[in-house]
């Protein structure tokens, strides 16, 4: 006879921060929410903004921390958080410690992969914001999504 473990999963609130923006209506809103936490970091951080059906912010979640020029992220890590928060949509956000927010080929490929995963899970991937020094790039605005 085998002993099969039973598991439960929970979403734990890990603090909060203040923002004047409650609803995301444009790329700049996502940037303004995340800029204080992500600008001028010495290594790449990949986070998501989780949204309800009305694009109101449910919360944010740090997905991974990388190195000065790369970050390994998988759709599983991203959607795990979004599902636990009952998100209807997410916005991907990461920083470039170099200060140049221009997306790499890897950034674009990962974004497309996550968008496809979101379609299957019925969680819309609205944008991918890359933060640099006092500026940002929106992959949606730039036509990659």
Mean pLDDT by 10 residues, the chain (145 residues): 84 84 94 92 95 95 90 92 95 95 94 96 97 95 91
Domain membership flag for residue 8: no
**Structural domain count, the chain:** 1
User: Token pair 């599983």 is at which residue?
Assistant: 76
Residue 81: which domain range? 27-138
CATH number at residue 122: 3.40.140.10
Long-range interactions of 59-68: CB distance < 8 A, separation 24+: 59/13, 59/85, 60/33, 60/34, 61/85, 67/43, 68/42, 68/43, 68/44, 68/97, 68/98
Domain membership flag for residue 17: no
Domain membership flag for residue 143: no
Through-space distance between the first and last CA atoms of the chain, rounded to whole angstroms: 51
Domain membership flag for residue 85: yes
Burial class (CB in 10 A: 0-12, 13-18, 19+), 39: middle
Q: Quickly count helices (H) and strands (E) in the chain.
A: 3, 5
Domain membership flag for residue 18: no
Q: What is the pLDDT of residue 29?
A: 96
Q: What is the pLDDT of residue 9?
A: 78
Q: What is the pLDDT of residue 17?
A: 85
Q: What is the pLDDT of residue 6?
A: 87
Domain membership flag for residue 21: no
Tokens of 85: 């928060």
């Amino acid at each position: 006879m085998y002993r099969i473990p039973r598991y439960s999963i929970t979403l734990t609130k890990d603090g909060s921060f203040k923002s004047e923006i409650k609803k995301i209506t444009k790329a700049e809103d996502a940037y303004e929410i995340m800029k204080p936490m992500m600008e001028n970091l010495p290594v790449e951080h990949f986070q998501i903004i989780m949204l309800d059906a009305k694009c109101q912010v449910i919360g944010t979640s740090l997905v991974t921390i990388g190195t000065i020029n790369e970050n390994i992220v998988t759709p599983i890590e991203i959607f795990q958080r979004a599902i636990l928060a009952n998100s209807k949509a997410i916005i991907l956000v990461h920083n470039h410690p170099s200060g140049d927010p221009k997306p790499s080929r890897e950034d674009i490929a990962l974004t497309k992969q996550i968008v496809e995963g979101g379609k299957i899970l019925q969680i819309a991937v609205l944008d991918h914001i890359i933060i640099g020094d006092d500026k940002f790039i929106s992959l949606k605005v730039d036509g990659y999504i």
